[in-house]
């Protein structure tokens, strides 16, 4: 019994250590960045679908988050980070790094453009989300893999 | 050589011939009786267009990387990688020489539902007639009418590049004998019109199982694993399980699934990726009731 507790403690400690080291790894960083983009898109979607009232500040903040995040996103794919930590990055990223960066820049550019014009109502947010969603999907089409 | 030996040899030859004859008969291309394609009347082009998008024709038959305004030019050329070699989707535009402009409805119908080519030859099941076998004659007639309204292309797509023995078309008769069926893949409550429509779209037109169901070494579906996920035919990664047991979408509601097919966004605002991007673009063109039917059917599947 005591042995089992000890083993369990060791396992938990081990998991904790891995989590700490993992947080700074490029795979973990880029997963966090994508999560931020997803949350911003989610906020826009709430407005587009009428689940949340239109709020110019939230629209502004979400669009800024998207454009700023994807600007640095492609910097987190150094050699050696192709696998591990359940990465969904396709090896094609490293074969076509320029195209990969161009696709990220396209999303960033579109988000900035929309931010400058600022959608004024629910329908405008919906249209904006349509454009951004296409950018996301066109990159995920070539460069994101599913593992389960 | 004694009399008995000669008798024995001719007996063996006769049996071999009979066996070959039986094998030929069992595995020969089987078109529908001509009557199946008769009396269908003028095609309903609006329905034909819906059938076109639900069937995903452009995903393989438009030129690879064709921009949105060129997706109705069915010039062919997309390469489909598989363990058997690389298949190249042919030109199915109405061009009379490069495409299928000189085909009849019956020839087209037999190709799409029975895998029988214009010259009576077996077609490879990379063309998903194993799913399209479920199509109604009306839908085929409407689709055929719609295809003829599309632009012609003179492009000649490359031939399939397959390794031995998969390059022997005759052998496809054996594949069909083992795996070609128009029976339902799973039992769902067909009295429910929405589920029945979902089943028609998923098992038939949408040919979802072609990627989402794992295959055995002969390229047939693994029994009991309908839509349970499979290796990505293009190499790395997987095509996800889409039954209620799925780690990816098992927790989604029916309206989450319908919304994903419409917008490409997952409930947690990831987006569609990989080969599914093409599919989702097609699904977005269907009426909302069809996307809801697909969702209802997926939620009603046995969990795998």
Residue numbers of the domain that contains A92: 26-143
* Chain A interface residues (partner B, CB cutoff 8 A): 34, 37-39, 41-42, 45, 88, 90-91, 129-130, 133-134, 136-138, 140-141, 144-148
Q: Residue B109 and residue B32: Cα distance in Å, rounded? A: 8
Domains in chain A, number? 1
Residue B67's pLDDT band (cuts 50, 70, 90): confident
Across residues B146-152, what is the average pLDDT?
98
pLDDT of residue A29: 94
Digit-coded pLDDT (tens) for B47-59:
999 999 999 999 9
Q: Residue B176 and residue B54: Cα distance in Å, rounded? A: 24
Q: Residue B256 and residue A42: Cα distance in Å, rounded? A: 13
The answer as to whether A17 is a domain residue is no
Is residue A23's pLDDT more than 60?
Answer: yes
Question: CA distances (Å), A70 to each of A5, A36, A111, B34, in order?
Answer: 45, 10, 10, 58
Q: Are A110 and A129 in contact (CB under 8 A)?
A: no
Residue B1's pLDDT band (cuts 50, 70, 90): low
Question: CA distances (Å), A62 to each of A93, A108, A140, B100, in order?
Answer: 26, 12, 20, 49
Q: ipTM for the complex? A: 0.79
Q: Residue B108 and residue B55: Cα distance in Å, rounded? A: 15
Q: Residue B62 and residue B74: Cα distance in Å, rounded? A: 4
A134: CATH? 1.20.120.10
Give me the residue spans of the domains in chain B: 34-183, 184-304
Q: Residue B101 and residue B229: Cα distance in Å, rounded? A: 37
pLDDT of residue B120: 94
pLDDT of residue B141: 98
The answer as to whether A96 is a domain residue is yes
Q: Are A147 and B237 in contact (CB under 8 A)?
A: yes
Question: Among residues B117, B134, B114, which one has the least CA distance to residue B175?
Answer: B114
Query: Which residues pair with residue B81 across a beta bridge?
Result: B86
Question: Among residues B278, B284, B258, which one has the least CA distance to residue B198?
Answer: B258
Residues of chain A with Cβ-Cβ distance to B240 below 8 Å are: 146, 148
Distance (Å) from the alpha carbon of A36 to chain B's nearest alpha carbon: 10
Distance (Å) from the alpha carbon of A109 to chain B's nearest alpha carbon: 19
Helices (H), B87-127: 105-114
Across residues A97-107, what is the average pLDDT?
96
């Amino acid at each position: 019994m005591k042995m089992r507790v000890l083993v369990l403690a060791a396992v938990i400690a081990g998991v904790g250590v891995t989590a700490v080291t993992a947080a700074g790894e490029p795979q973990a960083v880029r997963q966090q960045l994508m999560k931020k983009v997803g949350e911003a898109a989610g906020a826009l979607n709430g407005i587009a679908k009428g689940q949340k009232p239109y709020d110019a500040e939230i629209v502004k903040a979400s669009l800024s988050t998207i454009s700023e995040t994807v600007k640095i996103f492609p910097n987190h794919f150094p050699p050696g980070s192709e696998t591990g930590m359940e990465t969904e990055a396709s090896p094609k990223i490293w074969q076509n790094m320029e195209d990969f960066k161009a696709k990220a820049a396209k999303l960033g550019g579109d988000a900035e453009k929309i931010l400058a014009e600022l959608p004024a109502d629910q329908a405008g947010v919906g249209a904006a989300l349509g454009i951004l969603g296409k950018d996301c999907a066109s990159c995920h089409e070539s460069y994101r893999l599913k593992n389960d | 050589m004694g009399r008995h030996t000669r008798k024995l040899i001719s007996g063996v030859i006769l049996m071999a011939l009979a066996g070959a004859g039986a094998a030929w008969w069992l595995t020969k291309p089987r078109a529908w009786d001509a009557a199946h394609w008769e009396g269908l009347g003028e095609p309903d082009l609006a329905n034909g267009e819906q059938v076109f998008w639900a069937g995903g024709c452009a995903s393989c038959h438009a030129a690879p990387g064709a921009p949105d305004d060129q997706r109705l030019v069915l010039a062919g050329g997309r390469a489909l990688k598989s363990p058997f070699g690389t298949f190249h989707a042919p030109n199915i535009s109405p061009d009379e020489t490069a495409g299928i402009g000189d085909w009849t409805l019956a020839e087209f119908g037999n190709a799409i539902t029975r895998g029988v080519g214009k010259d009576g030859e077996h077609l490879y099941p990379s063309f998903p007639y194993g799913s399209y076998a479920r199509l109604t004659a009306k839908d085929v007639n409407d689709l055929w009418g719609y295809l003829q309204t599309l632009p012609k292309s003179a492009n000649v797509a490359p031939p399939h590049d397959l390794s031995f023995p998969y390059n022997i078309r005759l052998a496809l008769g054996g594949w069909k004998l083992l795996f070609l069926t128009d029976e339902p893949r799973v039992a769902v409550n067909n009295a429910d019109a929405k589920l029945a429509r979902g089943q028609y779209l998923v098992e038939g037109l949408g040919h979802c199982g072609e990627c989402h169901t794992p295959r055995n070494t002969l390229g047939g579906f693994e029994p009991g694993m309908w839509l349970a996920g499979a290796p990505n035919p293009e190499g790395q990664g997987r095509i996800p399980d889409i039954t209620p047991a799925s780690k990816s979408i098992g927790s989604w509601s029916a309206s989450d699934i319908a919304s994903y097919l419409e917008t490409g966004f997952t409930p947690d605002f990831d987006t569609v990726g990989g080969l599914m991007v093409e599919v989702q673009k097609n699904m977005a063109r269907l009426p909302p009731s069809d996307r809801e039917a697909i969702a209802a059917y997926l939620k009603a599947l046995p969990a795998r």
